[in-house]
Amino acid sequence: MLAFWTILAMTAPPGAAQPTTHPHAPTDTKAASAWPMFRGNPALTGVAHGNLPDELHLLWEKQIGEIATATAAIADGRVYVGTDDGDFLALALADGKTVWKRPSEVPIRSSACVHGKLVLFGDDDGVMHALDASSGTGIWSFETGAEIISSPNCVDDRVLFGSYDGHLYCLSARDGTLIWKSEADDRIHGSPCIQNGHAMIAGCDGKLRVIDLNTGDQARAVTLGSYSGCSPAAQGKHAFVGTFGNQVLGIDWVAGTVLWTYENPDQQFPFFSSPAVIDQTVIIGSRDKYVHALDATDGKLRWKFLTRARVESSPVIVGDRVLIGSSDGNLYALNLADGTERWRFTAGAPISASPAVAAGRVVITSEDAVVYCFGPKPSRDIVPSP
């Protein structure tokens, strides 16, 4: 059954037609055509290259199963996404039609990463899969000791991801052989970020671990005060991460010191959303129903936006907008500067996945396993994709 949807018009000056751009937003043309992994880039900053039209319109919707919580990846004109039902699909970005489908009975909650000719993802059996991105044919697989919720991150010929068996793994992208693994003291739910020759992972042991990318040796560990289920974002020598101790931390990962902590003074709820960061602004959602914007230098609140339910979706910054989903069933577009609402789309089911932004399109999946694609005003009526 099709999800109920509603679009509220974007607020824009009369006659506005040109997409808006943040003055320091990246504009790499090649990168603008892809969102190859969770959070968009190896540093997990959640910042999209390129622009979006001022007004977003629904281009297509696609039912892919019963339940889906993973974030989609976009590359080479295709959308790659798995479901909690165990299916993994490649859809055409243009119209949502199924290009290929890999069925299984094992839930897929790990978001995909497209690296070269491969698309990679983990499953609840603890297996990391590498498929041929064009055909869905299996290339290699690697088995860990517990489920993989962590989304893979790729750099050069290496694939990195965490497992509930308490290890950060580094594999060869070519054949899936183990290069090294680094042990933590508890499960790893989030994804590793990569910055300046190091991988950083936050986990259920309540530490941000900084790992040498070449050797797998731990360079340092920073105590977070509570366990974390989100993925850190890195900008230069600084990293940002939320915890189930109801705090967001700014960390100098090179020195191994906590620079600041933030918590909502009015109500205490965990931060499960992974942060986005651009310039001196950190954006993060919380189970307190708010989207929070913080000063990256001192952690002070710049603004917060109230939704009607917990916010576990991770924000994406594109131009002067923040895109983020909520368990209230809405996808929101907010002003980056002040958090005012500019647009929303009502999916009718909770949204815990995060937006994927590429090629002037936004793709997001609701928990009832409907994939939505937004972009410029279509020239035809919207119909569900087969």
In contact, 151 and 71? CB cutoff 8 Å: yes
DSSP 221-282: EEE-SS---S--EEETTEEEEE-TTS-EEEEETTTTEEEEEE--SS------SPPEEETTEE
The CA angle 323-329-335, to the nearest 5 degrees, is 25
Task: In whole angstroms, give the CA distance from residue 115 to residue 166.
Answer: 25
pLDDT at position 386 = 65
Confidence of residue 29 (pLDDT cuts 50, 70, 90): low
Q: Summarize pLDDT for 211-254 with one digit per residue, the tens.
A: 999 999 999 999 999 999 999 999 999 999 999 999 999 999 99
Say whether pLDDT at 119 is over 70.
yes
pLDDT at position 237 = 97
Say whether pLDDT at 313 is over 70.
yes
Task: Report the candidate in 223, 241, 222 with the shortest Cα–Cα distance to residue 232.
Answer: 241
**What is the strand order of the sheet 281-285 is part of?**
276-278, 281-285, 290-295, 301-306
pLDDT at position 32 = 87
pLDDT at position 379 = 75
pLDDT at position 384 = 61
Say whether pLDDT at 5 is over 70.
no
DSSP 154-220: EETTEEEEE-TTSEEEEEETTT--EEEEEE-SS---SPPEEETTEEEEE-TTSEEEEEETTT--EEE
pLDDT at position 297 = 97
pLDDT at position 375 = 96
pLDDT at position 50 = 86
Confidence of residue 89 (pLDDT cuts 50, 70, 90): very high
Phi/psi of residue 127, each to 5°?
-110, 130
pLDDT at position 380 = 67
pLDDT at position 192 = 98
Say whether pLDDT at 170 is over 80.
yes
* Partners of 218 in the β-ladder: 211
Q: Summarize pLDDT for 318-327 with one digit per residue, the tens.
A: 999 999 999 9
pLDDT at position 12 = 35
* Rounded average pLDDT over 13-30: 43
Confidence of residue 210 (pLDDT cuts 50, 70, 90): very high
Task: In whole angstroms, give the CA distance from residue 168 to residue 97.
Answer: 35
Confidence of residue 14 (pLDDT cuts 50, 70, 90): very low
DSSP 290-303: EEEEEETTT--EEE
Write 8-16 long-range contacts (CB < 8 A, 24+). 8/343, 8/344, 8/345, 9/55, 9/343, 10/54, 10/55, 10/56, 10/333, 10/342, 10/343, 11/342, 11/343, 12/54, 12/55, 16/54
Q: What is the pTM of this model?
A: 0.91
Task: In whole angstroms, give the CA distance from residue 290 to residue 286.
Answer: 6
Say whether pLDDT at 23 is over 60.
no
Confidence of residue 8 (pLDDT cuts 50, 70, 90): very low
* Rounded average pLDDT over 182-190: 96
pLDDT at position 22 = 43
Question: pLDDT above 70 covers what percent of the chain?
Answer: 90
Cα distances from 379 to residues 16, 133, 261, 376, in angstroms, run 19, 30, 48, 9
* Rounded average pLDDT over 125-142: 98
Phi/psi of residue 30, each to 5°?
-65, -45
Tell me which residue has tokens 């936004």.
362
Burial of 100 (0-12, 13-18, 19+ CB in 10 A): middle
Q: Summarize pLDDT for 338-360 with one digit per residue, the tens.
A: 999 999 999 999 999 999 999 99
**Fold classification of 26-375 (topology level):** Methylamine Dehydrogenase; Chain H (2.130.10)
3-state DSSP call for residue 309? coil
Share the mean pLDDT of the chain. Answer: 92
Task: In whole angstroms, give the CA distance from residue 376 to residue 54.
Answer: 8
* Rounded average pLDDT over 327-342: 98
Confidence of residue 28 (pLDDT cuts 50, 70, 90): low
Confidence of residue 382 (pLDDT cuts 50, 70, 90): low
pLDDT at position 166 = 97
By residue count, the chain amounts to 386
Say whether pLDDT at 16 is over 90.
no
pLDDT at position 30 = 59
pLDDT at position 31 = 60
